[in-house]
Copies of this chain bind each other. A is one copy, B any other.
Amino acid sequence: MSEESVERVRVAAEAARVASRRLALLPRAEKDAALLAMADAVEQASERVVAANADDVRRGEEAGTRANLLDRLRLTPERVSAVAQALRDLAALPDPIGEVVRGSTLANGLQITQVRVPMGVVGMIYEARPNVTVDAAGLGLKSGNAMILRGGSAAASTNAALVDVLRGTLAERGLPADAVQLLEGGRDDVRALVTARGLVDLVIPRGGADLIQTVVTTATVPVIETGIGNVHVYVDAAADLDMARAIAVNSKTHRPSVCNAAESLLVHEAVAEEFLPKVLAELGGAGVLVHGDERTATFAEQAGAAYDAVTDEDWAAEHLALEMSVGVVPSLDAAIEHITTYGSQHTESIVTEDRSAARRFVAEIDAAVVMVNASTRFTDGGEFGFGAEIGISTQKLHARGPMALQELTSTKWIVQGDGQVRA
């Protein structure tokens, strides 16, 4: 790790710390007014942002980037407006800071109160999608945190343009511009950021498995892991099969490249013969390659779905593509066991009309989100009503599932007394 990187991060983090002390004390009205002003400024700068984005897209095309990644990267005036709208949505949400979480009066008369406070300085390391830059800045401001952003190099020009607009707005309003900073150096900067103990309170990596693994294994700053989803839909013996088909197909095909898309379909043997032909025909029709077990093979052929034999690697894989591992299980127990073995504790859904099966699945499946009769695609901060989202935590510490304002806070105990001492 180069000395320049360590120094660059130190300077950024110290400026962020100073900014964070201002932010921590800002009343809600000032934060919301700044968010609305940032939204207007982003929309007014739409032409400039789209032009910077076109540079990034051109570089991506020249480098042979895949079409779906280029699509994630690309901004249009409509997408810029949607990015700005997220800031307005955040302004409308309650302020998490100052919320009283719990409290009591002790036997000795001391009053103890636990209240939400900002984390302080938060590092965010992410990949291509430039809306994350604005979402993270907005979530940071509303939750009173100074954000050090490290976007992917593929979106460098777009991110620079967006952060310039956001910082300009903060400065115009007399707020510290260093509440939002962009770290533009190479990989050494990432390493310096995740090892800046005492300077940075939290780092959130958001992206592919490699990025998250790298951050988690090198970080000495507290980290919240996000995002790997080997997500299952289990169709129970007592499922409404039309509902099950709609949920399985929606979970797999609505947006296959994201972490809450389903990767595996487990079907109770009691309904396999009736259910599989229909669902496989629909999946096949949507262009899904089926990795099936032996009992699935015949149905896949009948349904005309592209098929190969499922392997252990398939069961463990996050395909993030139009591929699905499909198998028949003899019981609810077997489904729970399979999900416990192969799942990534992100989102798991059961389709059933059997109350007892639903209760067992909900109790025994260990995952961030457990669903009954719903598409796995609903695991999302926006869908949950959180406004923007900063990522989906797949770990158990601090936050689990979609993360937004509340997950960017810590707490502080306030103890009020009249001179109490310990005997």
A419 to B374, Cβ gap below 8 A? Answer: yes
Q: Give the contacting residue for A415; candidates B21, B222, B366, B369; CB below 8 A.
A: B369
A-B contact list, 21 entries, CB within 8 Å: A24-B366, A25-B363, A110-B378, A114-B401, A117-B366, A201-B397, A217-B220, A222-B395, A222-B396, A247-B419, A250-B421, A254-B422, A366-B412, A369-B413, A370-B413, A371-B417, A375-B420, A377-B421, A378-B417, A378-B422, A397-B397
Query: A246 near B: Cβ within 8 Å?
Result: yes
A220 to B216, Cβ gap below 8 A? Answer: yes
Query: A89 near B: Cβ within 8 Å?
Result: no
B201 to A385, Cβ gap below 8 A? Answer: no
- A interface, by DSSP: helix, strand, loop or mixed? mixed
Residue of B nearest to A349 (CB): B415
Contacts of A187 in B (CB 8 A): none
Q: Give the contacting residue for A396; candidates B372, B410, B421; CB below 8 A.
A: B410
B367 to A412, Cβ gap below 8 A? Answer: yes
Query: A270 near B: Cβ within 8 Å?
Result: no
What is the CB-to-nearest-CB distance from A306 to chain B, in angstroms, rounded to a whole number? 23
Residue of B nearest to A417 (CB): B374
B370 to A202, Cβ gap below 8 A? Answer: no
Query: A418 near B: Cβ within 8 Å?
Result: yes
B418 to A120, Cβ gap below 8 A? Answer: no
Query: A157 near B: Cβ within 8 Å?
Result: no
Asked whether A419 and B240 contact (CB < 8 A) given A106-B385, A398-B398, A412-B400, the answer is: yes
B216 to A120, Cβ gap below 8 A? Answer: no
Q: Give the contacting residue for A112; candidates B217, B368, B384, B417; CB below 8 A.
A: B384
Query: A153 near B: Cβ within 8 Å?
Result: no
Q: Which 9 A-B pairs have the closest CB atoms?
A: A374-B417, A250-B421, A396-B410, A398-B398, A243-B419, A222-B397, A371-B415, A375-B421, A377-B422
What is the CB-to-nearest-CB distance from A360 to chain B, in angstroms, rounded to a whole number? 9
B400 to A411, Cβ gap below 8 A? Answer: yes
Contact string, A175-188, partner B, CB cutoff 8 A, digits 1/0? 00000000000000
Query: A119 near B: Cβ within 8 Å?
Result: yes
Contact string, A18-37, partner B, CB cutoff 8 A, digits 1/0? 00010011000000000000
Q: Give the contacting residue for A370; candidates B251, B384, B414; CB below 8 A.
A: B414
